[in-house]
Structure 1
């Protein structure tokens, strides 16, 4: 038996007294207050890839790095973190307060796909600066989560799920341009959705032995059983970008992240991203970034 299976069986044995409804939820969700002082700073730095989604209410001037972007906010912000996208935050003030909750994708089984919500989708900015009224509203939700998780209410995790969804919808309302992109049934949107899912499934790259399998438009078209021209027209209609542009943008996003967040050599990163020859990767990167991979990495240290 694998170690993880042994640990799971041991864990279940220790919870034999607990009702099945609650046993399934333990380990899938938790919520914490956040408090730091000048002698006990709390930073999320450096990033490491875990299987947890995270929603944070951060009060205090903070520098936030998400994939290849860096942002700063001066007062209070709501942050949605996807486990597939590298992120880190660094406290710039002497003190910081707030709350955060963490949960797995499985916590929402039978309640829809958490990845369908724009606040967790790659390419969107998951950070929302808040005014005082919004901060108070969101703090109340986190306090309710803490009250629920400390209670002995049998259906407390159902109540907590509703509170998490409330946070998600508040985030969507803070950026209506994301939430207005409602789904419809037209073929172009469906193909775009399938293409995006197929593209994202190849990431993140977690090992120098992992290589993406789909690299070119014709490969995606064959996998989706559509003509490459039809795929390109559909993507252009919905996103405004060609198939090649979307693939290259996602590869560049991962390339920047690997250069910043790993110590892998550039040849390893090149191979992981589907480039059989290192010069091809260097030219590809330089065309998009106007810098070689080595210079880009050195400038981020």
Structure 2
């Protein structure tokens, strides 16, 4: 079975047909061979943390950095920072492990507190040959355990994952970054991706996390001025304009299609007080949220 890595359903077990659908929000970890995945991995939504042992040549793109991969590399990613993988050789081997926030909180939060999972730190490490063999062994054992039915196999997988992570902590991260010629386009693409992935707001617990240019710049590990220049250069619009337009679109959808109180809508969209939401909405539409909702009745 050939699949593209970004197309793997996070809540599906693809290694043992028929697929087992898992409940979103429940603790989950899964392990796959990279050889089962084909094609380019584009910037796309990912709701999970990921650890990959890449054995194959290519290029990784994070924000304004391009990292050439020309030897075995250990790569880390988190849900908030999209990346792009461009393979340069047909032979792509190795493994990758994906796990969600619920899996982390099931025992402790050590994994996400480690430097390689932070947004403004290095994501790629080049292990020595002996470490490659050890890390490969750990991934192989994880796949074996994942095939079984042992009631506590998630704990075993967690232990192997910790061993892989601590191998990385002993290494020096890769520093051979290249500044891509299309850095502005790539930063803008990442900004649009981060903005889009916050929507739709489909529950009262799903409030907006990123509302300002600084919020997005912090997530992308670039300076706010750098982000603003890139977005303006590529789209002709400011970062603030993009954010406001998307918030306004969501506000209209919630006013029209939900029975939430206006104050609740404003809070979920990142406004601490109803008056702030009213001011924002009136600035861009000429009327208040209450007027808009009455108009639709």
Q: How does the TM-score come out when normalised to structure 1? A: 0.54
Contact 1:32–1:99 (8 Å) recurs in 2: yes
1:99 pairs, out of 91, 95, 99, with 95
Distance 2:31 2:48 in 1: 12
Q: CA RMSD in A?
A: 4.1
| CA deviation after TM superposition for structure 1 residue 41, in Å | 4.1
Alignment of 1:142-157 (within 5 A): 142-157=139-154
Q: 1:46-95 deviations in whole A, cap 9, x for unaligned? A: 11022111111111111111122101021210000111112111111121
Q: Which residue of 2 is the match for residue 29 of structure 1?
A: 29
Q: Structure 1 91/24 Cα, relative in aligned 2: closer, same or farther at 3 Å?
A: closer
Q: Work out whether residues 212 and 272 of structure 1, in 8 Å CA contact, stay in contact via their aligned partners in 2.
A: no
Indicate which of 172, 175, 200 corresponds to 2:169. Answer: 172
Q: 1:94 to 1:252 in 2, by over 3 A?
A: farther
Change (3 A) 1:83 1:257: farther
1:1-301 matches, cutoff 5 A: 28-35=28-35, 41-44=38-41, 46-109=42-105, 110-112=107-109, 114-175=111-172, 204-206=194-196, 212-213=210-211, 249-251=222-224, 265-267=235-237, 269-272=239-242
The answer to whether the 8 A contact 1:25-1:157 is kept is no
* Cα distance change of structure 1 residues 86 and 133 upon mapping to structure 2, 3 Å threshold: same
1: distance between equivalents of 2:140 and 2:118? Answer: 26
Residues 116 and 26 of structure 1: is their aligned pair in 2 closer, same or farther, counting only changes over 3 Å? closer
- Report Cα offsets for 1:16-42 as digits up to 9, x if no partner: xx9xxx989977211001117xxx843
Instruction: Describe the shift of the 1:245–1:269 C-alpha distance in structure 2 as closer, same or farther (beyond 3 A).
Output: closer
User: Partner of 1:84: helix, strand, or coil?
Assistant: coil
SS in 2 for 1:35: helix
SS, match of residue 35 in structure 2: strand
Tell me, which stretches of 5 or more residues in structure 1 are unaligned?
1-17, 177-202, 221-243, 275-301
Aligned with 2:34: secondary structure? strand
Task: Give 3-state SS (helix, strand or coil) of 1:70's partner.
Answer: strand
Instruction: Report deviation, 1:250.
Output: 4.6
The answer as to whether partners of 1:81 and 1:120 remain within 8 angstroms in 2 is: yes
* Residue 43 of structure 1: how far off its partner (Å): 2.6
Distance 2:116 2:48 in 1: 15
The offset of 1:131, in angstroms, is 2.5
**Secondary structure, in 3 states, of the residue corresponding to 1:83?**
coil
Q: Is the CA contact (8 Å cut-off) linking 2:31 and 2:143 kept in structure 1? A: yes
Following the alignment from structure 1 to structure 2, what is the Cα–Cα distance between the partners of residues 139 and 247? 30
Q: 1-side partners of 2:231 and 2:142: how far apart?
A: 35
5+ unaligned residues in a row in structure 2: which ranges? 1-19, 174-192, 200-207, 245-297
TM-score by length of 2: 0.55
